[in-house]
Amino acid sequence: MVSLELARHLASVSADLGRQVGVLLTRDGAVRNVVVGDAHKIEIPDVGRLRGGVGRFRGLRLVHTHLRGEPLTHDDLTDLALLRLDMVAKIDVEAGDAGGIEVAWLAPSPDGGSGEGAATYEDNFQRTSAPEVHRLDVDFEATMSALEEEMARIAGTAGEGTAGETGRERVLVVGITPDDEHFAETLELVRSAGVEVAGTVRQKRYKVHPKTVVGRGKLQEIVLEGMRRRAEVAIFDIDLKPAQARAFEDATGMKAIDRTQLILDIFAQRARSRDGKVQVELAQLKYSLPRLTEKDAGLSRLTGGIGGRGPGETVMEVGRRRIRDRIRALEKEVEKLSRQRDVRRRRRRDADLPILSIIGYTNAGKSTLLNALTESEVEAADKLFQTLDPTSRRLRFPREGEVIVTDTVGFLSDLPDDLVTAFRATLEELADADLLLHVVDASDPRFDDKLAAVEELVAQLDLGEIDRLVVLNKADRVPDAELAARERRHDAVAVSALHRQGLGRLIEAAETRLGRKAELAGAPR
Ligand SMILES: Nc1nc2c(ncn2[C@@H]2O[C@H](COP(=O)(O)OP(=O)(O)OP(=O)(O)O)[C@@H](O)[C@H]2O)c(=O)[nH]1
Ligand SMILES: [Mg+2]
């Protein structure tokens, strides 16, 4: 850990100065830094961000003096954790010479591997001490290699495997809001983004630290969890200010991804049409621009991995100015595409076919319903935001004749404004609908919330005037009595899109609504 000679030297200098004195030693025992504190504490200089080495130790240990024989402090242990130091040791200064020694290092699995985290703060660490430096019974090298092996083993058994095995990024999901449902949905989003949840950290109270998102204690917990579970990325269930994300990254060495970035990442993976790709890339660039630091030359932060995946063939390895140019070019393209879309919309209106637009919360079964109604094969999956691009299909109604049915991007509670703006163009088409089929997953425990969230967005998008028919989907999973009650309450039709049940009744109800609309307009179709 430390030679007796060095320990005695530190103690004597420390006694002369009346201050704590410390050294940062590399693995091979070389002095990397010398630090002088005051009588009670020592502040470690900026030892640089640990990039790409997350889950590993820094390869530096701190050996410093304590003037009053006090044990390792909370601050000492926090430094150990946040800076990922190999170990931290204090040497007592007794009559100008080295006295007792105490050493602490990280406990590989404070909970005995149950994955529940440390029961108490102290459980995160192992400590040992000796009345004299040369009597300390710690084999530094052996302890470190055992520790590193144990950490790798835990990381290997946590989740579905290591990144090396699955090739997927491992992330820590950080819940800032105490809302369980919100957190569960965040986990669903993370799953839909195709990354692996290596662990989770939650706060009990909703409190956002103005500077680093979470306070120092939580920061430490996140770093420890990240190390144990080999996660290099923290995904938050809220949006972060650019400066907060940066401060968090500087303090932890982990990459911070917020809720909007997470959703954009999913969108980037799903976009198929030119329209969708352009809108997503534009939103991503606009969102990341204020989040880039001067240090991010080459934009390493933007390239690769979650939050850094673009929808198109675009090169993200470009400078800030190039990003601005790219934003302008994309904005022009959005305009051009929107004109083309207008032409298409006009043509569709001229064809004078009634338009039924399927809307609803993400994963409600909108695409499955479109497929069931029109015998098509739009991709449907148990993932959030599977569909991004609107798709239209024709369908023959018994009385009304041909109608157009369109499927759209799903809605989400608290959809960030930036995303609503990004998709305003696509969603504008909804204004042409003669009837909105609002699909709700009837088996969802959050049924009422989701119904309300969609209604709220409908109002926000100025679609409130359009007639809506609520479709209670996934009826196969709900008891009949409950369905009947809900059908009455919401003037709705229950169906099972997957099992193609209730579709006749749905078509009938939709036709009636359309007929009513035509009557009101005074012109029978
Ligand atoms: N049990 C049951 N599952 C259904 C039903 N309809 C759809 N699903 C399932 O629900 C999941 C989501 O279906 P999608 O059609 O992709 O949902 P969506 O609303 O288009 O979702 P996004 O495009 O992601 O917003 C899929 O796994 C479907 O198989 C149904 O009637 N019953
Ligand atoms: Mg869909």
As a whole number, mean pLDDT of residues 215-230 equals 86
pLDDT at 370 over 60: yes
Q: Nearest residue CA, atom 30 of ligand 1?
A: 474
Q: Identify whether the C-beta of residue 223 lies closer than 8 Å to the C-beta of residue 84.
A: yes
Q: Are strands 97-106 and 125-130 parallel, antiparallel or unpaired?
A: antiparallel
346-360 per-position pLDDT tens digit: 887 788 889 999 999
pLDDT at 316 over 60: no
Distance 470 CA to ligand 1 centre (A): 16
Pocket of ligand 1 (CB under 6 A): 360, 362-368, 380-387, 410, 473-474, 476-477, 496-498
User: pLDDT value at position 300?
Assistant: 44
Both tokens of 209, joined, read 């630290």
Spell out a b/e string for 475-496, using b for 16 or more CB atoms within 10 Å of the CB, else e. beebeeeebeebbeebebbbbb
pLDDT at 160 over 60: no
Those residues whose C-beta lies under 8 Å from the C-beta of residue 9, and which sit 6 or more positions away, are none
Ligand located closest to 439 CA: 1
The residue whose CB lies within 8 Å of the most ligand 1 atoms, and thus the one to mutate among 495, 498, 503, is 498
Distance 236 CA to ligand 1 centre (A): 26
User: pLDDT value at position 49?
Assistant: 59
> Mean pLDDT score of the chain, rounded to an integer?
86
481-523 per-position pLDDT tens digit: 999 999 999 999 999 999 999 999 999 999 999 987 777 666 5
Distance 407 CA to ligand 1 centre (A): 12
- Counting beta carbons within 10 angstroms of the beta carbon of residue 365, is it exposed (0 to 12), middle (13 to 18) or buried (19 or more)? buried
Distance 382 CA to ligand 1 centre (A): 6
Distance 387 CA to ligand 1 centre (A): 11
Q: Nearest residue CA, atom 17 of ligand 1?
A: 365
At residue 78 the predicted structure's pLDDT band, cuts being 50, 70 and 90, is: confident
DSSP state of 196: E
As a whole number, mean pLDDT of residues 26-48 equals 89
Q: Output the pTM of the full model.
A: 0.81
pLDDT at 162 over 50: no
Atom of ligand 1 nearest to the CA of 380: 16
232-249 per-position pLDDT tens digit: 899 999 999 999 999 998
Helix (H, G, I), strand (E, B) or coil at 296: coil
Ligand located closest to 380 CA: 1
- Phi, psi of 435, rounded to the nearest 5 degrees: -150, 135
